[in-house]
A and B are shown apart, each in its own frame.
Chain A
Amino acid sequence: ETGVTQTPRHLVMGMTNKKSLKCEQHLGHNAMYWYKQSAKKPLELMFVYNFKEQTENNSVPSRFSPECPNSSHLFLHLHTLQPEDSALYLCASSHLLAGGTDTQYFGPGTRLTVL
């Protein structure tokens, strides 16, 4: 596989369930990102990981728990979500350059529905 892959592509879960989203990048990048895309709203950056270390958390509720075991894999663990958390969750990756980051490449997203 090439690029950035995400699984599952679609997920339906109840508010009491625990599930995880997976992202894998095959681009040799060292920075990874989670974004939330809700209808009629700009993309919201949730988390940033550089070299497996979390460098940004944009006031995301604790019911979302990210995990980055290595530079190629990123997870988003979900528990006790609310219906308003239903959205498309996008993963992205990029090179981490001196003084900043290179262009971000996105996966296809996981469409999450919380009942």
Chain B
Amino acid sequence: GNSVTQMEGPVTLSEEAFLTINCTYTATGYPSLFWYVQYPGEGLQLLLKATKADDKGSNKGFEATYRKETTSFHLEKGSVQVSDSAVYFCAHRYNQGGKLIFGQGTELSVKP
């Protein structure tokens, strides 16, 4: 079936550390891939997306590359800030029908 698997949290980093949050998906065909972020007390916000293989999505210093060969979409940031503390969700969506499949979320905590 279709699913998304993320690395378990919480992930705790010091400010300016390098961040990687792993995400792999199971799907037939070629879904679009997304990262959403949820700050404390808020809803989900779209962080970045990629719609085809080898596309790189980027926003606010975060990047993720659509890797078809490894069915992955890992989220990276070179230097995290305290304000990046949030829960990050990886998701995929088929263009037909539009249903989003979410991972379980990874909590990131950045300490000063």
Contacts and interface: CB of A to CB of B under 8 A. Distances in A.
Contact of A108 (B4, B34, B43, B89): B43
B46 A103 contact: yes
Given A107-B43, A108-B42, A108-B43, A94 B98 contact: yes
Nearest to A33: B100
A95 to B, nearest CB: 10
Of the listed residues B43, B45, B99, B105, the one surrounded by the most CB atoms of chain A closer than 10 A to its CB is B43
A103 B34 contact: yes
Interface residues of A, number: 24
Contacts of A92: 44
Interface of B: 4, 34, 36, 41-46, 49, 89, 93-100, 102-105
Given A96-B98, A99-B95, A103-B34, 16 more contacts: A31-B98, A42-B4, A42-B103, A56-B99, A92-B44, A99-B96, A100-B98, A103-B46, A103-B49, A104-B46, A106-B36, A106-B44, A106-B45, A108-B41, A109-B42, A109-B43
Interface of A: 4, 6, 31, 40-43, 45, 48, 56, 90, 92, 94, 96, 99-101, 103-109
